[in-house]
Structure 1
């Protein structure tokens, strides 16, 4: 809806043939600095005797507007909690661009009120003295850069922490017995033994597994046989039972 001004309807109002006995009610003019819904309800209650005359209701309504009335959809623009400040500014600018001759003071207020009162930008905007809409945008841009810098630092710290912290599998590698052949080759030779026990099927979501890798011990995708922690643990148990001596170095073979 574009802006409405009283002057744009002057000629049309003069052509209206008002009903007999019609007297122009006294209205409190709407200046665009309050809730438009409240003004509309006030107007309808004042013109209740003529509510069936749509033409008259529409034309007289224009006389209740003083200057330019901001498009009411601007009041409904609020920042979504999942939305970034940069996206909120972009959305607000797009909606404001639809308004012809908008009131800057009202636009500045609605831009601020679209933020949560708990947002740090809201506090700076409400305490700022005579901030223009352009100045509000500039302040929002600084907050957007600040948020992005904090997120970047957070991601970098997380990355460094992961690099410093070894995984459980990598930590466990240091305690496993070393063999003369890959453990996937040992599996191929031992899995047909009567005492060999295969693990139960994996219960994880198959759609999220890495299908470029295959584990012969679990008989499914997700990781390699040589990198399977469960197979390494079971193989260690078989080694302690003396079932893998042929794959050990002479220095690490268990005594008979």
Structure 2
């Protein structure tokens, strides 16, 4: 439209054609013959839609980011990268400092970055990825260890129950040579017929 910028009528009409559905609806609500030139159209359009404008963030914004207590290192790294991507011309040295500042001081990665402070941002992210991978493996190993401990505990409890039952049976059974005699039920039909009758019952 640079070629036709002197033609206000054409500029206004073509601009209106570029609007989306909601903005088209807004444009249609303007009073008839209220726009006399493109400058006025630009002014009222900007006034209507200024609140939708994204505020440009500066590199200083990265210092507000902090790794949350329950957040994994990988999630913090992903969140930091996403925020950095929104900053045009972000200084890499500032980003490196902000990333380290967002880590808890007791974190292993914080100590690593403090020992070697002159790393490039790419190197910082690479080191963080390595730590995130190790962290995930460590968490997975801890979960597996807990599951094994839980299974061993369950097996031990079951074993103890069986031992107690066996002891109870031994205690309730009369000693050899005692006066009490064991009594048994005598079946009048073969055992295989009994099993066939009760096989579907609880």
- Give the structure-2-normalised TM-score: 0.51
Contact 1:70 1:103 in 2 (8 A): no
1:171 aligns to 2:155 (yes or no): no
> Aligned equivalents of 2:120 and 2:183: distance in 1?
83
SS in 2 for 1:88: helix
> Aligned equivalents of 1:99 and 1:145: distance in 2?
27
**Post-superposition offset of 1:122:** 0.5
1:147 aligns to 2:172 (yes or no): no
Flag structure 2 segments of 5+ consecutive residues without an equivalent: 1-56, 173-181, 185-202
| Structure 2 counterpart of 1:127 | 115
Q: Match for 1:107 among 95, 99, 102?
A: 95
Q: Residue deviations 1:77-114, cap 9 Å, x none?
A: 01011111000000001111111111111111101101
| Structure 1 counterpart of 2:68 | 80
**Post-superposition offset of 1:160:** 2.6
> Aligned equivalents of 1:129 and 1:116: distance in 2?
16
> Aligned equivalents of 2:66 and 2:120: distance in 1?
19
Contact 2:59 2:91 in 1 (8 A): no
> Aligned equivalents of 1:90 and 1:121: distance in 2?
15
**Post-superposition offset of 1:156:** 2.3
Contact 1:79 1:88 in 2 (8 A): yes
Q: Comparing both structures, which one devotes a greater share of its residues to helix?
A: 2
**Post-superposition offset of 1:145:** 1.1
**Post-superposition offset of 1:118:** 0.8
SS in 2 for 1:102: coil
Flag structure 1 segments of 5+ consecutive residues without an equivalent: 1-68, 179-235, 241-248, 252-256
Q: Residue deviations 1:213-245, cap 9 Å, x none?
A: xxxxxxxxxxxxxxxxxxxxxxx7xx96xxxxx
- Give the structure-1-normalised TM-score: 0.41
